[in-house]
Amino acid sequence: MVQASDFITIGRIGEGQFGQVDAVRCRLDNQIYAVKIIPKSTAARYNLNLPLERDIHRAGTRHAPPLFATFQTPSSLHMVIEYAACGSLWDRISLDSPTTAKLSEHEVCWWTDQMIAAIDWLHSLGYVHRDVKPQNFLLYPDFVLKLTDFGSVAPLLDKGIVDPSHCALPVGTPDYIAPEILRHAEEALLGSTPVPYTESIDWWSLGATVYELVVGRPPFYSSSITETYAQIFRINYRLPHTVSSELVDLFTTTLCPASARHRPSITPSKPPPTLPFIEPSPPDSLESDTFSFGDFFSTFSSSEPPLPCSHHVRWSDWSCTASRRDTSPPITPSRVVTAVPHSTRRRRPVSEAHAYQELLECVDHSARTNTSFSMRDLEQWWERDQESLQALYRRFASISESFHRR
């Protein structure tokens, strides 16, 4: 079994709602890997099904980065997976044109065909992703795309219905989340019996992702997540007039009510001429806003020191070493010369964790008022004291736990 001391951190690849991903060099074989790190406290509070995420990476084919090992420390869980030297689709659109931040239609069709195949593969395993977005599609030097970040997956029941026990909390990223997920969370918060949603939520998120690649921004983007929330429910977006009828068909069959939504198709085109290697950012160079989940949940944190790994019974079977696979030659980041520019034109000046907190507030507000949102609403919500925010989280956590006990 590997352990934390077997790895040297090279740089930060990304940060998400519940953890971070670092590029590391393994002392045992001198190869480069990506390590996803999730605090145990976060995993417990959100009932994250991390063993399921681990097992999906174990089943990784050409559609997902394979798992090499898992290990734990007293405070966190670690997954060692294949390193994607060319970054993600998000990096690609930022690198290709930091000003307009979009790709040619030929290239979009090349990636879209592979995105559809990757989502199909996951559905065939009996799971729905629930967080499809550009950041979760990894690119490789041979122009192959893979789906990653299975921390939000949920099992599928008959007819593609998502297991309701996994649906009490809203799951996903504001700009790409399907309206059914939000409505389900609202109904659960009110104590009613929510209408189940299906695997088609992934096709909605795919449509939003492809739209961003073509247009340069997500279809429901607003500087206010509150307004984005309202536009998602209204399905209020503009169809671009400069793209082919094939892509317009994809948007109209994915960014639509669930009853009319279905699996899209696309004719694959030619790959991009080149893909630059991406250099991981040194961890201490990352900018972060003043909010963090550590601040938000500070009163829930234990003042006691972390227990030894052996005492964490919940994660007793977490650590493993996968069988060696045939993979692409390792890429050494010292060969990488391209840094990822920040595309601030579309990105809100908040972390994913902060954006998720705003999403929870939108769900709560919409459930109670069932009215349209405005910037004035958001400003008023930010005036709530910390106790109110914690009470809101406890309500969501209680609902989630009750579903899991059923």
165, 19, 40, 289: CA torsion to nearest 10 = -110
* Partners of 161 in beta bridges: 198
* Partners of 39 in beta bridges: 76
The two three-digit tokens of residue 120, written as one number = 């199909």
* Three-state DSSP class for residue 187: helix
* Three-state DSSP class for residue 11: strand
**What is the spatial distance between Cα 99 and Cα 95, in angstroms, rounded to a whole number?**
10
The answer to whether residue 131 is catalytic is yes
Q: Phi/psi of residue 293, each to 5°? A: -60, -30
**What is the spatial distance between Cα 212 and Cα 221, in angstroms, rounded to a whole number?**
10
**Average pLDDT by stretches of 10, the chain with 406 residues:** 92 84 94 94 80 87 91 92 92 68 89 96 96 95 93 92 88 94 90 88 98 93 93 92 92 95 91 77 40 27 39 66 52 38 52 84 87 41 50 64 62
Which is the catalytic residue, given 131, 149, 175, 377? Answer: 131
**What is the spatial distance between Cα 77 and Cα 60, in angstroms, rounded to a whole number?**
20
Q: Phi/psi of residue 146, each to 5°? A: -130, 145
Q: What is the pLDDT of residue 306?
A: 46
Neighbours of 121 (CB within 10 A): 18
Q: Which H or E run contains 387?
A: helix 386-405
